[in-house]
Amino acid sequence: MPGFSSPPNPKEYQATVWEIARQVPPGKVTTYGQIAAMIPPPGTLNLRDYEAFGPRWVGGAMANCPEDVPWQRVINSQGKISLRPGAELQKQLLESEGVKFNERGKIDFDIYGWNGPDPEWCQIHGLFPPPPLAKNQPRLF
């Protein structure tokens, strides 16, 4: 897939991503985009470019995360697990926390979506409170 990138300061950016991911409680999920939206544009990046690439940088951070990070709770904006080696394990871990998938492999954000950390926590860490997760369309029954 063409068009990727890494943040100006990968180490610092990844550490921030991991710290946010650690706030997601069991049985809840967030998205690469939601985490990216909480972090101010790194370096001299303008907001437009950051919004375009931030989610991919979050994905890159999750690929290298320490063991204490609940990486399985970070999924894509469609409410699905991004296809890759390890995707099956991710699904199993989430199911063991009580997260349900519909027959198309989608998670309902209305039920399992995380609303972000407390505003106070965001304030302390210099982060933005995240916008609500976009409603996906889980197929009924």
Partner DNA sequence: TCCTTGACTCAGA
Partner DNA sequence: CTCTGAGCCAAGG
Query: Is the Cβ of residue 82 or residue 101 nearer to DNA in the bound state?
Result: 82
Longest dimension (CA), the chain: 48
Distance CA 116, CA 34 (A): 8
Compute the least distance from the CB of residue 118 to DNA, in Å: 22
Query: Is the Cβ of residue 88 or residue 124 nearer to DNA in the bound state?
Result: 88
Compute the least distance from the CB of residue 20 to DNA, in Å: 13
Residues of this chain that interact with DNA (CB under 7 A) are 1-8, 10, 31-33, 43, 48-49, 52-53, 55-56, 58-60, 62-63, 65, 71-72, 74, 76-78, 82, 84, 86, 90, 104, 106, 134, 136-137, 139
* Beta-strand runs (E) in the chain: 30-31, 74-75
Compute the least distance from the CB of residue 82 to DNA, in Å: 4
For residue 125, the one-letter residue type is: H
Compute the least distance from the CB of residue 119 to DNA, in Å: 21
Pair 8, 43: CB distance under 8 Å: yes
Structure tokens at 19: 């710290």
Query: Is the Cβ of residue 112 or residue 124 nearer to DNA in the bound state?
Result: 112
Pair 138, 79: CB distance under 8 Å: yes
Query: Is the Cβ of residue 82 or residue 123 nearer to DNA in the bound state?
Result: 82
Distance CA 134, CA 112 (A): 12
